[in-house]
């Protein structure tokens, strides 16, 4: 089954490359470079170290902002879902902030934090923290009330109820939040690099896009796509490990 999926994926990839090649022959090359031209552009960017340097800058901003979102979003969401009164007080503010475009906060962030790494990391944090927090909150609210009452009736402590009932039930929601937060965080990383100091992969996107160096532009786009695939794969592996832990609790 897994081998068949791999074969199908390779088939889809081959079809996409063939379509890309076709577009490069019918559309002006200044707009759509051929796969060969893009490959040579990647070789040049790797050889002069520009791609790796920009990738490192972007990953530092992304990991710091996304990591902070996890450290704050999951505990706060679980706390809001466990302490229902606190959740009812804060949820309206959380949803209001979630509905506000993050770009609206960028001028304020620049005023208070400047154009350095801290400002960019905070922009990433703002984008990633809301889906993580909201999904963790929803997961904690999803706890089986009957099981909780049963545990209380036999004298189980709140800490054990949380560990044995609330947390395992919240895991699928939390993983969903991590996935959405990872995607939005990566997007916000590029936005942050475009709006603040133009560095990293976002800076290269701006430079190559403005000068119509589309082969190099495509290399940066594919690099970002690869980062997204790697992050998603890591989260899937984490989900599998947590599902095994959750299974031992049931």
In this predicted model, what pLDDT tens digit does every residue of 205-216 receive, in sequence order?
Answer: 888 888 888 889
- 3-class state of residue 74 by DSSP: helix
Which pLDDT does position 7 carry in this prediction?
Answer: 82
- Which pLDDT value is given to residue 146? 64
DSSP designation for 83: S
Q: What dihedral do alpha carbons 152, 158, 161, 163 form, nearest 10°?
A: -170
Does residue 100 sit in helix, strand or coil? coil
Per the CB < 8 A criterion, the answer to whether 142 and 173 are in contact is: yes
Q: 129 near 181, Cβ under 8 Å? A: yes
pLDDT of residue 201: 87
Tell me the fold of 49-249: MetI-like fold (1.10.3720)
Half-sphere exposure at residue 199, Cβ-oriented, CA atoms within 13 angstroms: 15
Tokens for 200, please give them: 């990293």
CA separation for the pair 109, 105 (Å, rounded): 6
Rounded to the nearest angstrom, the gap between the alpha carbon of residue 104 and the centroid of all alpha carbons in its chain is 20
Cβ(181)–Cβ(132) under 8 Å? yes
Separation between Cα atoms, residue 49 and residue 47, nearest integer Å: 5
Which residues of the chain are modeled with pLDDT < 50? none
> Pick from 136, 127, 149: which is nearest to 79 by CA?
136
pLDDT of residue 218: 92
CA distance linking residue 37 with residue 40, whole number of Å:
5
- Which phi and psi (to 5°) does residue 35 adopt? -55, -35
């Amino acid at each position: 089954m897994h081998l068949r999926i791999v074969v199908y994926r390779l088939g889809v990839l081959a079809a996409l490359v063939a379509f890309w090649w076709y577009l490069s022959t019918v559309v002006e090359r200044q707009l759509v470079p051929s796969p060969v031209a893009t490959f040579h552009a990647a070789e040049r960017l790797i050889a002069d170290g520009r791609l790796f340097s920009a990738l490192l800058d972007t990953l530092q901003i992304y990991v710091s902002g996304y990591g902070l979102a996890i450290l704050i979003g999951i505990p706060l969401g679980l706390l809001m879902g466990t302490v229902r009164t606190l959740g009812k007080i804060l949820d309206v503010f959380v949803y209001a902030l979630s509905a506000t475009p993050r770009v609206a906060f960028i001028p304020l962030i620049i005023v208070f934090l400047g154009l350095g790494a801290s400002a960019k990391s905070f922009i990433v944090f703002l984008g990633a923290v809301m889906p993580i927090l909201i999904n963790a909150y929803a997961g904690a609210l999803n706890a089986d009330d009957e099981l909780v009452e049963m545990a209380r009736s036999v004298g189980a402590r709140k800490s054990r109820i949380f560990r044995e009932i609330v947390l395992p039930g919240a895991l699928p929601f939390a993983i969903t939040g991590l996935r959405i937060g990872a995607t939005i965080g990566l997007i916000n990383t590029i936005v942050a690099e475009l709006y603040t100091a133009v560095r990293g992969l976002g800076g290269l996107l701006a430079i190559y896009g403005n000068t119509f160096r589309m082969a190099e532009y495509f290399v940066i786009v594919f690099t970002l796509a690869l980062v997204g695939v790697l992050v998603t794969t890591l989260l899937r592996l984490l989900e599998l490990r947590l599902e095994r832990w959750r299974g031992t609790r049931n």
